[in-house]
Amino acid sequence: MIGCLLAAGTLIMPRILLFVFWITGLFGKVDPWETKLWPILGFLFLPATTLVFGLCHLYGEGEFNILWIVLMVLAVMYDLGSSGSAGTHKKRRNR
């Protein structure tokens, strides 16, 4: 039970943070996206990557130095790993 809650929390936390940043207007100060479509798609499909991209524009002033590149790579790996592991788990369960 605790493991399921922990897994659900780690999957939903980037979306919660994006929502809080949107409500507080934190990303509105720098407007890292040109259209409103990218943050919506990022919220649905790659929330951690969208969060790191917005934070890079907010705190890194839009410059991708080595720290932000490493964080972006880790965020992409997190997003792809969290969505890709569901299919592997489903295959194992059906056997």
Structurally, the chain folds into a number of domains equal to 1
Question: What is the phi-psi region of residue 33: left when phi exceeds 0, alpha when psi lies from -120 to 50, beta otherwise?
Answer: beta
Residues 6+ positions from 75 with CB-CB distance below 8 Å = 46, 48, 49, 51, 52
89-to-40, 65, 83, 85 alpha-carbon distances in Å: 27, 36, 11, 6
| pLDDT the model gives residue 47 | 92
Q: Domain range holding 32?
A: 2-94
Along the 95 residues of the chain, how does pLDDT read in single tens digits?
777 887 787 788 889 998 898 888 887 766 777 788 888 888 999 999 999 998 888 888 778 889 999 999 999 999 988 776 555 555 666 66
| pLDDT the model gives residue 67 | 92
Are 54 and 21 in contact by the 8 Å Cβ rule? The answer is yes
